[in-house]
A and B are shown apart, each in its own frame.
Chain A
Amino acid sequence: MKNRITELRAERAWTQADLAQRAGVSRQTINAIETGKFDPSLPLAFRLAKLFDLKIEELFLDEQ
């Protein structure tokens, strides 16, 4: 699933490790989500959207 995490993280000058710390996951998880290798669970998707003050559908893009 595509997402805007890399772009939004860059706007805030957060590293992957910063975002991982805030979201309570590993840096490897953030990297895998950003590269589209791993789709997060719904609770994590909500946490990430909340961190960026967005709705889930504004952060994660439906590819269909």
Chain B
Amino acid sequence: MEASMQANNEIRATVRLALWTVAWVATLALARFGPQSLWDPEQVVASWAAVAVNLAASIGWIVSITRYLRAIDELQRKIMQDALAVTLGVGWALGFAYVVVDEADLIARDINVGLLPALMGVVFIIAVFVGQIRYR
């Protein structure tokens, strides 16, 4: 009984997280590509509205992540928390290292700022994979 309730909670939390992730990605794409593809870039109100919708979806996404972490099996939670800690550490370390390097004019050209969250995503996936192997 308890096991099936736990499984149902996990499934519900996973589905909610998946739906919020899709919503966040879709609204991010809308905010990023909308000004060129769907409306005139000079329609600033539309662009700001798209950003606001994306930020609203981001809040829902963050809430769904925390609920997912509370709902999942406790070993999976530990693996996720360890992976999040590594990801946050890498993000901070590389982020501040880039700020220092940029301020000191050590690199000739600017790096695309979107690279950092993308890299953090890759680090998170690798850290989860390592955790799964560690506790196999």
Chain A contact residues, CB within 8 Å of chain B: 20-26, 28-29, 31-32, 37-38, 40-41, 44, 47
* B5 close to A (CB within 8 Å): yes
* B14 close to A (CB within 8 Å): no
Interchain CA distance A38-B78 in the complex, whole Å: 9
Given A37-B134, A38-B135, A29 and B3 contact (CB-CB distance below 8 Å): no
Q: With a CB–CB cut-off of 8 A, which chain B residues contact A47?
A: 2
Chain B contact residues, CB within 8 Å of chain A: 2-3, 5-6, 73-76, 78, 134-136
Interchain CB contact (< 8 A) of A24 among B6, B76, B135, B136:
B6
Q: With a CB–CB cut-off of 8 A, which chain A residues contact B76?
A: 26, 28-29
Given A26-B76, A38-B75, A44-B74, A32 and B135 contact (CB-CB distance below 8 Å): yes
Interchain CA distance A41-B76 in the complex, whole Å: 13
